Amino acid sequence: MQRQHYDLIVFDWDGTLMDSTAAITGAIQAACGDLGLAVPSREAASYVIGLGLEDALRHAAPDLPYADYPRLAAAYRKHYFALDGQLVLFEGVLDLLHALKAAGYNLAVATGKSRIGLSRAMDRPELRGLFDATRTADETFSKPHPAMLHELMAELATPPARTVMIGDTTHDLQMARNAACPAIGVSYGAHDTAQLEPLAPVALVHSVAELRAFLAANG
């Protein structure tokens, strides 16, 4: 494999840095149940992780009248926020982020969360000062549109070839392709290896330790 060199490392949040896949999936299923809708399977509910909330709920409950989506969104937030305080970063993530920052990389986040949701998730002393820029789905186009990556690259003056997107879903990898950026897939989140491989990431890793090793070898 040809050695890569990056200046900007962009992370997805849920399922990539934070171990929140089960909480999001369960909240989507419970919200559909609250409204008397067909409850999507775990696979169907986890597929939409990474999309903006409105897009995610439309995929999860395609037969719901448009006017009722705010009710579904409110039910989702109720269930998700009930678990919010229990969610943690994947083991090794904090050490990885600090090591990358110390090595001089620019770090960013591109997430399907809202700005309020990301601010809540990042409100931890150990995360302060680690990220140079962030984008959320309620500020610009949702994944897999390339806008989040385009905006981050412009803000941090980094070309696509020197940027890498790291994520656990096909939405992350497709966004990177749409932005002409390389991508690294992580299989420990919402989408499995079989779903990620067809999008041809430069690497597909199965743990935070493997991710750290790949980045160390390609700095």
Query: What are the catalytic residues?
Result: 12, 14
Dist CA 2 CA 133 (whole Å)? 28
The token duo for 99 is 């090591």
Residues 6+ apart with CB under 8 A from 216: none
Chain length of the chain: 219
User: Cβ distance 134 to 109 under 8 Å?
Assistant: yes
Q: How far apart are CA 9 and CA 212, in angstroms?
A: 12
Q: Distance between CA atoms of 164 and 160, rounded to whole angstroms?
A: 8
